[in-house]
Amino acid sequence: MEENLQPIREEMRRLEEILRYHAERYYTYDDPEISDFEYDALSRKLRELEAAYPDLAAPDSPTKRVGGAVLPFFETRTHEYPMQSLNDVFSFDELTVFDSRVREAVGAVDYVVERKFDGLSVCATYENGIFVQGVTRGDGLVGEDVTENLKTIRSLPLKLKDPSIPKLVVRGEVYLSNKSFAALNARREEAGEQLFANPRNAAAGSLRQLDSRICASRGLDIFVFNLQNTEDFAFSTHSETLAFLASLGFAVSPGYKICATIGEAIDEINAIGEARGTLDYATDGAVVKVDRFDARAALGSTAKAPRWAAAYKYPPEEKETKLIDIVIQVGRTGVLTPNAVLEPVHLAGTTVSRATLHNADLIAAKDIRIGDTVVVRKAGEIIPEVVCAVAAKRNGSERVFSMPEICPVCGGKVVKPEGEAAARCSSPTCPAQLERGIEHFASRDAMDIDGLGPAIVTQLIAADLVRDAADLYTLTVENVAKLDRMAERSAQNLVAAIEKSKQQPLSRLLFALGIRQVGQKAAATLAKSFRTIDALAAADAATLAEIRDVGAITAETITAWFADPAAAALVAKLKSLGVNTEEPETETGSKLEGKTFVLTGTLPTMKRSEAAALITQNGGNVSGSVSKKTDFVVAGEEAGSKLDKANALGIPVLSEAELLAMLGEV
């Protein structure tokens, strides 16, 4: 029997090698030799053989790329080699100071200059040439085990070209190309799902999918830029390891360059900066690394970052374009937001044609006029904004903007409350407010109705199926399936998600209702204090004002909202349709009693909202800003100014693992 299977085994191994070769040509070198159709035919043939002879299927078969494992949660792993962050520099003067420190300590060195990718950092481990584990960076010491999802990334080899290597640990950056990002958002828009803000968020969200099949469908890629276990090899420089990793089949940092002086490194940084707009992936800087390992050892590291490397961050790219018009968008609370309509301009990797102008006061302060030539940039490389007008280029045809006196959507009167910068539509029946309000009601941090995106909300309102948030709970599969591009299965999923949301606690419902000045934190506090929506509605302003996170102004807003007959009718309707209006009892510990925490950055295993809930459940307080009254700052990956302020004030900084240890949960 074994002899009869030998030809089949050989054919399966042959197909695996062919598929690996062509996958490498396509995904690693961007130089395909066969068509997608031919590749798919070979892959289909191997899958058929594996289905017929499962005992002969290789654990590292290329067919494993499609995913299939569904995990209940991600387990955490401690990094064998800590994944440190880099010290940022924002000018060439700072980079020159870095160079002086290096040369004073170790003499002349070569630098390797690499592109800094805007993705999600991971560590991948191989044993005897086979990929066995992948872990996210997390806080640098502990990360999430995303092995099954990394297996779906075709540019990450599951089997090394040299299987004799006992152990190999590499670090890389998982990213989503601009092309894949555009295709993913196009699919989500067609399905009525919320769009991803940028490729990095999309990559991070995709890699953290519990269902690896979803991750596989997203088209993630990876660049490998570091050999972690250098002590197991005889290399003397970082550049040697990059060449070695490329020979094993990895897609290493493209276009890296060895520079003999800091001047050459600066020239290369400028060259990378000029090329950024032409690349199919996001870069937010360049990394300068000492090449020689003996020099690195002499320079050493701090607890957070190596002293032998620096990350140069490019200043926000600014370009001039024409401001064609200023149009008004009406939000869920009736706020009128002016938006600039721009002549399309390519900026930080995408084409920008719109930018928020926030309010009329800001427009007046910057003296921005319709028809102006303006300078635009992306705040944080993400959100387009108008920096200023170029007054010298005016020709007299420009027009001064004024906020409309009536709502452009419903014709209601526009009012500007005293002391506020925002103008508002006063009509409670404004369709624009309804649309934005429903979107907010269904959002992830509110009632978390999966699949109810802006496109679906617009159709539901246009079809007169939804006149308020409560009407969502009257929808049926039959009437949802009639919407444009909504198949029977999608309609079933949406109605099921709406039904599931009925069980959300009162804290979620309060936030979902969109009461002005009641954010997630205040909603949680109110729900915990009153337990039922009826008890909250009966409270007077004086009682509410005494509650932490509320205050006098918010208290007046809450009482006014519940006093509105329309609001009372909405609450009654939600209750009649089975929506939960109570907050469950939770045990509150005292381990963190009286301690104030601030959360910053991306935590390895929890959302910040989950960490905040854990802190409050144990008697602690969570603040949004760092001050001398802050007891601890919990910092995750890419922590920003809050971490800097904590360090400046000498406030203890905790990782997620240290917070859990404080609570006795690890």
Q: What proportions of the chain, in percent to the nearest 5, are helix, strand and coil?
A: 40, 20, 35
* Structure-token match 């707009």, residue found: 277
Residue 329: CB atoms within 10 A of its CB come to 15
CB 357 within 8 A of CB 339: yes
Q: Which spans in 87-211 are helix H?
A: 92-106, 147-150, 178-190, 199-207
> Which contiguous run of DSSP H or E holds residue 271?
helix 262-275
CB 224 within 8 A of CB 170: yes
Query: How far is Cα 273 from Cα 381, in angstroms, rounded to an integer?
Result: 14
Residue 565: CB atoms within 10 A of its CB come to 7
Where does residue 31 rank: exposed (0-12), middle (13-18), buried (19+ CB within 10 A)? Answer: exposed
Amino acid occupying residue 542? A
CB 329 within 8 A of CB 337: yes
Sequence-ordered list of residues with C-beta below 8 angstroms from that of 21, at least 6 positions apart, any chain: none
The crossing angle, in degrees rounded to 10, of helices 431-442 and 454-462 is: 130
116 is a catalytic site residue: yes
Measured in whole angstroms, the distance separating CA 591 from the mean position of its chain's CA atoms is: 32
The residue among 540, 488, 530 whose CA lies nearest residue 509 is 530
Query: How far is Cα 220 from Cα 206, in angstroms, rounded to an integer?
Result: 8
The residue among 261, 302, 369 whose CA lies nearest residue 87 is 302
Query: How far is Cα 229 from Cα 141, in angstroms, rounded to an integer?
Result: 16
CB 339 within 8 A of CB 354: yes
Q: How far is CA 87 from CA 109, 259, 275, 289, 638, in A?
A: 19, 20, 23, 11, 12
Query: How far is Cα 295 from Cα 300, in angstroms, rounded to an integer?
Result: 9
Phi-psi category of 37—alpha, beta or left, where left has phi over 0 and alpha has psi -120 to 50? alpha
Torsions phi, psi for 369 (to 5 deg): -120, 150
Query: How far is Cα 32 from Cα 19, in angstroms, rounded to an integer?
Result: 12
* Structure-token match 């600014």, residue found: 318
Query: Among 45, 64, 116, 500, which one carries the catalytic annotation?
Result: 116
Query: How far is Cα 225 from Cα 235, in angstroms, rounded to an integer?
Result: 15
DSSP 542-558: HHHHTSTTTHHHHHHHH
Query: How far is Cα 477 from Cα 493, in angstroms, rounded to an integer?
Result: 9
The residues carrying an active-site annotation are 116
